Amino acid sequence: EKGWSFHSIDTICFTHYHGDHISGLPGLLLSMGNADRVEPVTLIGPRGLERVVNALRVIAPELPFPLKFIELTEAEETIWTNGYEIKAFQVKHNVICYGYSIRIRRGGRFYPEKALENQIPQKFWNRLQKGETVTEGEQVYTPDMVIGPERKGIKLTYCTDSRPVKAIAENAKGADLFICEGMYG
């Protein structure tokens, strides 16, 4: 079993700062700290993010890991962080609110037959799959010797609490998973 841990969460995106969307953060941060997390966590959200998070941290003041804040100021912004391409786009709510399209890149396929053809020792295959160049004596093995072109990645689009706006359809186009949560009233 692979399992799951708080160490796998490296980025948290906030759509807006109504209580039902942000009040769980202190508990999550405390749980991450109690799980011995020390790696930084990136927080992305509308302008005012750091102020809002620091106010919530009154009940979680000491964390064993740093927080990195990215405050959105434009109608659309693209951020590359922790290996993800995150596109934030404004939607229509009664406060500033963003939706997100997240792209996860997918590397090329590993071809064991190419590794055998190039007489690459099997002990190096894993490192080559991870994108490393391996040197043994005078011999240099590079990932392009055994890995094909990058494959289509995964795209997830999420938006919430918005009136219908073009930005939602435009950003959801081609998504592998689209989550659109609505509000009433």
Residues labelled catalytic: 20
Q: Which residues contact 29 (CB under 8 A, 6 or more apart)?
A: 41, 57, 60, 63
Nearest to residue 112, comparing CAs of 104, 103, 97, 122?
122
In angstroms, the CA 88 to CA 74 distance is: 9
Query: What's the gap between Cα 160 and its chain centre?
Result: 18
- Say if residues 26 and 19 touch (Cβ distance below 8 Å): no
Residue with tokens 């399992």: 3
Token pair 């064991």: residue: 112
Tokens 């997240």 — which residue?
A: 102
Q: How far apart are CA 79 and CA 45, in angstroms?
A: 11
**116 close to 145: Cβ distance less than 8 angstroms:** no
